[in-house]
Amino acid sequence: MLVVGITQVMPAIPNFPLTYFRINETITGILQKTADSDALQPQSALLNLSWWCLALLIIVLLPIISQQFHQFWRTASHRYLQQA
């Protein structure tokens, strides 16, 4: 909620990830006219927003996936050592 709140009061900056969270202005093209930037066209802005959301999701999920992998590896190696 803090990120969305910050994006509502900050000026539009082309290629700055938080700018794309102004969804209404991005889709209608108001953001492109305000910033006078072709980088903020609705199609490219939504594509950039998608990439940033995917990157943030990976960053959030990486510790969880890493923990699950380590737990699986310990369990598998423990089973292998018991069989030997």
Q: What are the tens digits of pLDDT across the range 43-62?
A: 777 787 788 889 889 999 99
Are residues 20 and 52 in contact, defined by beta-carbon separation less than 8 angstroms? yes
DSSP run (H or E) holding 53:
helix 42-83
Per-block mean pLDDT, blocks of 10 residues, the chain (84 long)? 73 69 76 74 77 88 89 79 70
Whole-model pTM: value is: 0.49
Q: Count structural domains, the chain.
A: 1
Q: Give the model's pLDDT for residue 15.
A: 65
Which residues, 6+ apart, have CB-to-CB distance to 34 below 8 Å?
12, 25
- Residue 75: which domain range? 2-83
Which residues, 6+ apart, have CB-to-CB distance to 51 below 8 Å?
none
Q: Give the model's pLDDT for residue 61.
A: 92
